[in-house]
Chains A and B, each alone.
Chain A
């Protein structure tokens, strides 16, 4: 866990420190790559909650999605059609879906924990009363 946070911080720091400016012409590519990365990350989290997380799928999905998004944008730019909008739309939609599923999973888990607590409390109280009765 700590390793992941450290690497995230490292990436952000490197990105901020590096004086790497992209021409305005290619800002589309960058934004789409970020969107793809974000989508994949959220997809990973969702998979984790659904207990179907596969690291191989996750890593290949991460890089493949980014590559595909950039490729789509490139093709669109070459053809003069705003194909990147399709990618934006797809990724955005999936983003919301993933977030919604994650939220539901978290809520489910929270409620489960709550009921579990209640159950345990009630059992405890029952035991207590039994004890008192005795």
Chain B
């Protein structure tokens, strides 16, 4: 068999043709496979996407739960702080009340007033008219209280709401404790107000001086010890 140019050319053409057909065939097969795989993958993608959606929904729910809990926590904290504030105010109130009833040491600006028996007593006169009586002390105390004194003590004895002051001969009894003259009454409050009310015309000081009692008074930083 002889090989002519015609045959060679035909062979070449057939070679190219065969190559093209084969490549196209392979391509088509690949496309088919791709499509099959893509269907499967679509299913899988759908499944995973569904899972993702589920997860996101759950996350959302959990986040909402977290938010709810946070709000609850905030409320609890607020109520706690309110309680604490109440407690603090209660403690403050208790302190104040304790200060009023003399259970705590207190100090502050105030006044003092010292009442003393007259040294000079004329021979014919009644000694009674020259010494300090309980009513003098009560007068001073009443005046001080009405002038707004917050705390009063006599010779270091706190005067409370149920205190009583009375005269036993030359001494004065304050809540059962006797004190001799002189009597120093100290009060905590606005010093100006207290002094002015004491110094009023025909006021306490004038009356005391008229009744021949030695009076000494002035401003003072008062410190009181608990009883």
Contact = CB atoms under 8 A, between A and B. Distances in A.
Contacts of B17: 8, 11, 34, 37-38, 41
A18 B92 CA distance: 95
Given A20-B23, A21-B30, 14 more contacts: A4-B14, A7-B11, A10-B15, A11-B15, A12-B22, A14-B18, A15-B19, A15-B22, A15-B25, A16-B22, A37-B13, A37-B17, A41-B14, A55-B10
B13 to A, nearest CB: 5
Contact of A59 (B3, B9, B20, B21): B9
Contact of B15 (A8, A21, A38, A40): A8
Interface string A18-58: 10111010010011011001101100100000000001001
A45 B69 CA distance: 86
Nearest to B26: A16
Interface of A: 1-4, 6-16, 18, 20-22, 24, 27, 30-31, 33-34, 37-38, 40-41, 44, 55, 58-59, 62
Given A3-B8, A4-B7, A59-B9, A11 B16 contact: yes
Nearest to A30: B24
Where chain B touches its partner, the secondary structure class is helix
B32 to A, nearest CB: 12
B27 A14 contact: no
A4 B27 contact: no
B4 to A, nearest CB: 9
B132 to A, nearest CB: 122
Nearest to B13: A62
Q: Which of A11, A14, A59 is packed against the most chain B CB atoms within 10 Å?
A: A11
A12 B27 contact: no
B27 A55 contact: no
